[in-house]
Amino acid sequence: MSSVRGSRIANSLFGESDDTLVSSDSRGRSAELIDARNTQILYTLCWYKMDTKLDYNWIIKQISGEFYLAESTIGQIIEASYVELRKISNEWKAAGNDEMVKMLKKRYERWKW
């Protein structure tokens, strides 16, 4: 049985004994999930800038609320992802706003673009 953070508590609440659980040395979040989240943050930033033309500071506050991250963390993600952000921005300019919004609606169906 793989151990996931919080599994010991959840399993004890639902009747599984603790001795069947395997402890894990792994801590923190999956790098793959962090990368996916950061990519979505970058697309969200581009959408706000390209589609809505809103103020950068307002956009950062909005993204911070949407992703439950501090504004400083959003800034760090943007700085660390400059190359990817430039690629997304160029892709957006080449494809056009309508095409990019269609792509985002397919890729991130649960989000309202």
Q: 3-state secondary structure string, the chain?
A: CCCCCCHHHHHHHCCCCHHHCCCCCCCCCCHHHHHHHHHHHHHHHHHHHHHHCCCHHHHHHHHHHHHCCCHHHHHHHHHHCHHHHHHHHHHHHHHCHHHHHHHHHHHCCCCCC
Q: What is the pLDDT of residue 101?
A: 83
- The verdict on residue 7 lying in a domain is no
List Cβ neighbours of 31 (8 Å cut-off, separation of 6 or more): none
Q: What is the pLDDT of residue 109?
A: 78
- The verdict on residue 71 lying in a domain is yes
Question: Cα–Cα distance between 96 and 94 in angstroms, integer?
Answer: 6
In this predicted structure, the answer to whether residue 65 has a pLDDT above a threshold of 70 is yes
pLDDT digits (tens, 9 = 90+) for 5-35: 677 777 777 776 555 545 555 567 799 999 9
Domain that residue 91 falls in: 29-107
**13, burial (CB in 10 Å: exposed 0-12, middle 13-18, buried 19+):** exposed
Count: domains in the chain: 1
Q: What is the pLDDT of residue 102?
A: 86
- The verdict on residue 2 lying in a domain is no
Least confident of 7-16, 32-41, 68-77: 7-16
pLDDT digits (tens, 9 = 90+) for 78-91: 999 999 999 998 99
- The verdict on residue 4 lying in a domain is no
Mean pLDDT over residues 93-98, rounded?
87
